[in-house]
Amino acid sequence: MKKKVIGLIDSGSGNIGSIKKSISNIIENKPYQLQIIKTKKDFNNIDKIILPGQGAFATLMENLHKKNLYTQLLKLIKELSIPYLGICVGMQILATYGYENKKIKGLDIIKGEIIKFKKKNLIIPHMGWNTIKLKNKNIVFDQTTDLKDFYFVHSYYFKGVNSKNVTATTKYSNNFPSVVNIGNVYGVQFHPEKSHKEGSKIIKNFIFKS
Amino acid sequence: MLKVRIIPCLDIIKNKVVKGVNFKNIKVLGDPVHLARKYSDNGADELCMLDIKASHEKRKTFLKTVEAIAKVIDIPLTVGGGVSDIKDITTLLNAGADKVSINTTAVLNPNLIKISSLKHGSQCIVVAIDGKRYGKKMLVTIKGGRERTNKTVVSWAKNVQNLGAGELLVTSMDTDGIQTGFDKEMLIAINKAVNIPVIASGGVGELKHFKEGYKTRSTGLLAASVFHTSKFSIQQVKKFLKEEGVPVRI
């Protein structure tokens, strides 16, 4: 039987070590294999895509363009409906625009903007474990994921998302969308790969169920 | 609601977890990988590990320990001790650290904070501040508290925040190792001056000390001996804090 291929994008900004380790543990002895995506041709035969964004919004977008990954990524997600899981900045680039350092266009798959937490004297980044509150269930985020804690590290959040695309919210000064979804596309603001068993469950659900 | 982070710290010499910073009577407390896995499974929110006797020839052993620990835990890992340049930071991140803590080098070469946070992102650069009282002044010390500087902890904390540090790890040399509780005065003063997360370190001996640490606005509470000697389990600390109304991840 042909193994399903999980594509993990290495954009060059940040370390993919922990997510790589998580995926490898999850698919061990299962009919799946991991493919690290560094160039356009690495996308061949991919069944699912995970983008573990680290670093700034602008840097990630620039790297996707520079490495010629941008067009193929959009095509796979939008036209071929390949399941996509974006983590942290990998979620944020789904937006129309990001404002980290400068205004820059995102993938525009989920309408909205990425802006900084504004409240005066708020501790930034939002760093640590916080709860997600489920708003819309889907196959990755089922009832058992409601009100669970996950590990967050970020200073910017997704604003103006249509409520039907908000899977879950989290409260840090204000309520913000911590999980978004549109069809085959999932985005999580937290780091499932650093969120112990609850986080591992999310990655499993994405790999095995989406 | 954001939960306070309970962070066990592994002080490491030659692939062994040892007690404290007193180099004269080093007491081996356990195997780092074994303890790391135990803490991660028992509900630690992050893990910290420090190469407390960092030396060039022992560095490879330490890096192997970092790799081994990163493999068995799935919570964030902060690594520090002996970081002298941007290369060391990159090497530790590649070995599996999520954050790297810099201390003496940050004081001697503050530009490293700026360069490293630009290169790797502020979220993975932690500046460790070892504070100590000299008269009424709380000053920054370096080289494991052996050398004083003329910087006050508050001015240095503001400075490193401006340079791009994503977090502070504040240890009071006046309370460290004596289990009388965190240095509340120092932590409150620093927390008032900055808006980046602060990890409180040094002095935990009783359960109530964790609550006192939380009250200083610190979002991370670090302890070593009380966990390694099994005086308290992570779950015991969290259960206590929950009953006291402090938000924790159970």
Q: How far apart are CA A142 and CA B44, in angstroms?
A: 25
Smallest CA–CA separation between B23 and chain A, in Å? 33
- A175, A196, A200, A204: best to mutate for the B interface, most B CBs within 10 A: A196
Residues near A110 by beta carbon (within 8 Å), at least 6 away in sequence: A94, A95, A158, A161, A162, A165, A180, A182, A185, A187
Extract the runs of DSSP E, i.e. beta strands, from chain A: 4-9, 32-37, 48-53, 84-88, 97-98, 104-105, 113-116, 126-131, 133-134, 149-154, 156-159, 166-172, 174-182, 185-188
Prediction ipTM score: 0.95
Q: For residue B2, what is the DSSP state?
A: P
A193 vs B74: CB contact, 8 Å cut-off?
Answer: yes
- Token pair listed for A151: 């590990």
A87-118 pLDDT per residue, tens? 999 999 999 999 988 899 999 999 999 999 99
Angle at B21 between CA B49 and CA B8, to 5 degrees: 35
Domains of chain A from N-terminus onward: 4-209 (3.40.50.880)
Q: How far apart are CA B150 and CA B130, in angstroms?
A: 13
Closest to B99 (Cα-Cα) out of B71, B72, B70: B70
Q: For residue B135, what is the DSSP state?
A: T
The whole-angstrom distance between residue A49's C-alpha and the CA centroid of its chain comes to: 10
B242 burial level (CB within 10 Å; 0-12, 13-18, 19+)? middle
Domains of chain B from N-terminus onward: 5-243 (3.20.20.70)
B76 vs A151: CB contact, 8 Å cut-off?
Answer: yes
Q: Find the farthest-apart pair of alpha carbons in chain A and give their distance in angstroms, rounded.
A: 57
B128-158 pLDDT per residue, tens? 999 999 999 999 999 988 999 999 999 999 9
Mean pLDDT per 10-residue segment, chain A (210 residues): 93 83 95 96 96 86 94 96 97 95 94 95 97 98 97 96 98 97 98 96 97
Smallest CA–CA separation between A39 and chain B, in Å? 21
Active site residue B130: yes
Q: How far apart are CA B239 and CA B227, in angstroms?
A: 15
